[in-house]
Amino acid sequence: MNDKVFIFDTTLRDGEQVPGCRLNTEEKLVIARALEGLGVDIIEAGFPISSPGDFEAVNRIASEIRNTTVCGLTRAVKKDIEVAAEALKPAARPRIHTGIGTSDQHIFTKLRLDRDRVIERGVEAVKLAKTFVEDVEFYAEDAGRTDNEYLARVIEAVIAAGATVVNIPDTTGYCIPEEYGAKIKFLKENVKNIDKAIISTHCHNDLGMATANSLSGVSNGARQIECTVNGIGERAGNTSMEEVVMAMRKHNMLNFDTAIHTQKIYEISRLVSDTMRMPVQPNKAIVGDNAFSHSSGIHQDGVIKSRDNYEIIDPAEVGVSESSIVLTARSGRAALFYRIQKLGHTLSHEALEEAYQEFLKMADRLQTVEDEHLQELLQAVKVA
Ligand code: KIV
Ligand code: ZN
């Protein structure tokens, strides 16, 4: 029996903060329904005080989504919390996500407070949120750069105030996996009553470590991962949902799993990309166009003999119909023969050799050789 890791999706909040990704209420609803269908445990629907549009979107999502917790973000500010509570009123399972910066950088330069006052503000915020909802998550913003002893004091105080989930964000994407994992371990070992709350990861990708840091957090005691579809989010993005989910699924020995219906991953990736006008980079793990396409001769030959030679994921597992053999000037005879066979032709050894020499000339001219080019080529070498 695997340990459950809760998936907290923040595509509609952290993801939607990205310039150009702004969504209207109807678009947010479409994505929220798809996230519910995907099996995420929590949908962070927005930041209700930030605009009337975001309030409306959170409120509509809270009214419609019944099987998933719906969460609204706030600062540790009275008005924010009251407005979020109002937006979340119709929710079957509401959660308020409140918090404050805890690194010295944030305390002294951004908030212009001191360490003790930050703890008081966090505690006041959690207590106020608890008067509206049972499920209150606290975030220690910039926890990645927060001194561990002080962070432990903050987390202990907000758990005593009633926080059900404690979020340890690497807001600036600063940590490396050992460091982030050690931070979670330190909290596990040094915070009184830590087991009364779920520890959550929220990792940004500024050093390309978001997925690795989140998994390291889980290995050290976190049981919720905050993430987004396609890894969108502030600056270099947030932890990519599809990456953490598939890493846990593939590495069964980690003994962690999620409730995600992985066959829906590709579909929701396209939906988010299209709706948010945010293209997915071709080499993006799991959902990029090239994630299941093989283009060099050595790899193609291996994949044709057995998919397992170069594929660690069956594309169907994430909703991709099949992997592809892309014909380029780096392809070999095996790939050409395979594609010609798929078009319904069988070639003799001599005909294949002739076709291959013609193919190489063609491939040098074109980036990729498509089926229609192959048909022309077959005609030229007079293959039936
Ligand atoms: O990155 C961050 O710290 C956040 C918090 C608001 C949770 O997005
Ligand atoms: Zn964030």
Position 384 scores a pLDDT of 47
Probe residue for ligand 1, chosen from 98, 110, 138, 202 as the CB with the greatest number of ligand atoms within 8 Å: 202
Position 253 scores a pLDDT of 52
Unique residue bearing structure tokens 């930030």: 50
Instruction: Return the ligand 1 atom nearest residue 139 CA.
Output: 7
Identify how many contiguous H helices and E strands the chain contains and give both numbers: 14, 12
Find, among 151, 127, 130, 152, the residue nearest to 141 by Cα. 151
Query: What stretch of H or E contains 166?
Result: strand 165-170
287: which DSSP letter?
Answer: T
CA torsion 130-136-137-139 (nearest 10°) is -20
CA gap 329, 336 in Å, rounded: 11
228 lines ligand 1 (CB under 6 A): no
- What SS3 state is found at 144? helix
For residue 43, the CA-to-ligand 1 centroid distance in Å is 15
For residue 373, the CA-to-ligand 1 centroid distance in Å is 50
CA gap 272, 229 in Å, rounded: 7
Q: Which tokens is 169 given?
A: 């964000």
pLDDT tens series, the chain, 384 aa = 578 999 999 999 999 999 999 999 999 999 999 999 999 999 999 999 999 999 999 999 999 999 999 999 999 999 999 999 999 999 999 999 999 999 999 999 999 999 999 999 999 999 999 999 999 999 999 999 999 999 999 999 999 999 999 999 999 999 999 999 999 999 999 999 999 999 999 999 999 999 999 999 999 999 999 999 999 999 999 999 999 999 999 987 568 889 999 999 999 999 999 999 999 999 999 999 999 999 899 999 999 999 999 999 999 999 999 899 999 999 999 999 999 999 999 889 999 999 999 999 999 999 899 999 999 999 888 654
Q: Which tokens is 312 given?
A: 């660690």
User: Degrees (nearest 5) of the Cα angle 276, 280, 281?
Assistant: 145
Position 252 scores a pLDDT of 73
Give the chain's domains with CATH numbers.
Answer: 3-276 (3.20.20.70), 293-380 (1.10.238)
pTM: 0.95
Probe residue for ligand 1, chosen from 75, 141, 224, 227 as the CB with the greatest number of ligand atoms within 8 Å: 141
Which residues have C-beta within 8 Å of that of residue 361, sequence separation ≥ 6? none
Distances (CA, A) of 43 to 35, 114, 351, 355: 7, 33, 57, 54
Which residues have C-beta within 8 Å of that of residue 131, sequence separation ≥ 6? none
For residue 204, the CA-to-ligand 2 centroid distance in Å is 6
14 lines ligand 1 (CB under 6 A): yes
Q: Whose CA is nearest to atom 6 of ligand 1?
A: 141
For residue 141, the CA-to-ligand 1 centroid distance in Å is 6
Position 254 scores a pLDDT of 64
202 lines ligand 1 (CB under 6 A): yes
Instruction: Give the total residue count for the chain.
Output: 384
171 lines ligand 1 (CB under 6 A): yes
The ligand placed nearest to the CA atom of residue 98 is 1
Over the range 70-79, which residues count as b (16 or more CB within 10 Å of their CB) and which as e? bbbbbbbbee
Query: What stretch of H or E contains 169?
Result: strand 165-170
